[in-house]
Amino acid sequence: MKKIIKVVGKLLLILVVLIGSYLVYVSVRGIPSYEAQPVSFTLQSTPEAIARGGKLVGMLCANCHLDVESGKLVGGRMFDAPAEFGEIYAPNITQDNEYGIGEWSDEDLVRLLRTGIKKDGVYSPPYMVKLPGLADSDMNAIVSFLRSDNEMVIASSVADQASRPSFLTKLLCNIEWSPLSFPEDPIAMPDENDTLALGKYLANNLECFSCHSSNFKTNDFMNPEKSVGYFGGGNETLSLDGDVMLTQNLTPDMETGIGSWSEEKFTRAVRFGLKDGEPALRYPMQPYSSLTDDEAGAIYQFLQSIRPISNNTVRSGL
């Protein structure tokens, strides 16, 4: 028996040493890097594409990258990022050659937005928007805007501040989170006359599902509908004061979701931040005023079609 105890003890010691060594390795290695595979992309910039790109960038990128004082996408502290992920900063994405994306090729930008792999091969964790399902025309629009002469993206020499990812972020990036697959086939825009298809496209690709599902750690960007608690809310974000703000249940549950909401009520809340004449949204959620009534209505119709989830979250906004 003593021999067995000694053997088990030695095995446990070895196991502890191996686990400890791996954790040290993860801490030192940090966020992993990957080979930046070549991608095929040809920019087709038109005034229409730039306008569409400005609309998308305003909804997808500005909330994290826009400096409200200068009006430029020079980045800054992401105060809404959960503290468990560390101290996170959005980088400068103006056309500056030193601090921004001036030296990035169009293909570099598309690879990052599709897969999460940066120009230097470093992986960007899930707190950065990734758009594997975005239509090719919308991807072209975003890059067109970033290359335009709009004041938001004109070169601004503001140095980035490096993020300080937590050990949890480093660990997840080594064992769970990984780059997304680059689309093998073209991705077309949904038929604008197919309300449910358009609503699903917008709800998933405007990152609504990412915040309004259960947890950033369990989101599935390749298959958003497989995210745990898809649109059921309860995800923890932070206010500007550091208070935990639970995202709201947007499923059609009658008691805890938006099953009793009218399309008009939903549209007014999403586009203008108003609910029954009072503020409906709080940071980090901002009004999506650039959405049309038809687009907001399509999102509403799609949300009404998904599986209801009973999840009574404490209201802190939509």
Q: What is the per-residue pLDDT across 112-142, written as a single tens digit (0 to 9) for each?
A: 999 999 999 999 988 778 899 999 999 999 9
Written in H, E and C, the secondary structure of the chain is CHHHHHHHHHHHHHHHHHHHHHHHHHHHHCCCECCCCCCCCCCCCCHHHHHHHHHHHHHHCHHHHCECCCCECCCEECCCCCHHHEECEECCCCCCCCCCCCCCCHHHHHHHHHHCECCCCEECCCCCCCCCCCCHHHHHHHHHHHCCCCCCCCCCCCCCCCCEECHHHHHHHHHCCCCCCCCCCCCCCCCCCCHHHHHHHHHHHCCHHHHHCCCHHHCCCCCHHHCCCCCCCCCEEECCCCCEEECCCCCCCCCCCCCCCCHHHHHHHHHHCEECCEECCCCCCCCCCCCCHHHHHHHHHHHHHCCCCCCCCCCCCC
Q: Where are the domains of the chain?
A: 47-175, 195-305
Which pLDDT score is estimated for 84? 86
Which pLDDT score is estimated for 12? 73
pLDDT tens by residue, 254-291: 999 999 999 999 999 999 988 877 777 877 788 899 99
User: Look-up: residue for tokens 């921004």?
Assistant: 100
Which pLDDT score is estimated for 280? 76
Instruction: Give the pair of three-digit tokens for residue 112.
Output: 């990052």
Which pLDDT score is estimated for 80? 79
Measured in degrees and rounded to the nearest 5, phi and psi for residue 36 equal -80, 90
Which pLDDT score is estimated for 286? 85
Instruction: Give the pair of three-digit tokens for residue 113.
Output: 């937005």
- Average confidence (pLDDT) over 30-37: 89
Which pLDDT score is estimated for 220? 92
Q: How far apart, in whole angstroms, are the C-alpha atoms of residue 84 and residue 169?
A: 8
Percent of the chain with pLDDT over 90: 68
Domains 47-175 and 195-305 equal at CATH topology level: yes
Which pLDDT score is estimated for 311? 93
- Average confidence (pLDDT) over 177-181: 91
Instruction: Give the pair of three-digit tokens for residue 229.
Output: 């608690």
Which pLDDT score is estimated for 128? 79
Domain covering 47-175 in this structure, CATH number? 1.10.760
Q: In this model, does residue 317 exceed pLDDT 60?
A: no
- Average confidence (pLDDT) over 207-226: 92
Average the pLDDT over each of 22-36, 191-205, 248-262 and give the range with the smallest value. 22-36
- Residue 222 burial by CB count (10 A; 0-12/13-18/19+): exposed, middle or buried? exposed
Q: How far apart, in whole angstroms, are the C-alpha atoms of residue 39 and residue 109?
A: 10
Which pLDDT score is estimated for 177? 87
Indicate the pLDDT class of residue 205, thresholds 50, 70 and 90.
very high
Which pLDDT score is estimated for 261? 95
Which pLDDT score is estimated for 217? 86
Which pLDDT score is estimated for 254? 96
pLDDT tens by residue, 49-73: 999 999 999 999 998 999 999 999 9
Q: How far apart, in whole angstroms, are the C-alpha atoms of residue 84 and residue 235?
A: 13
Q: In this model, does residue 318 exceed pLDDT 60?
A: no
Higher pLDDT, 150 or 29: 150
Domain covering 195-305 in this structure, CATH number? 1.10.760
Whole-number Cα distances in Å, 79 to 59, 213, 223, 287, 315: 17, 19, 27, 18, 19
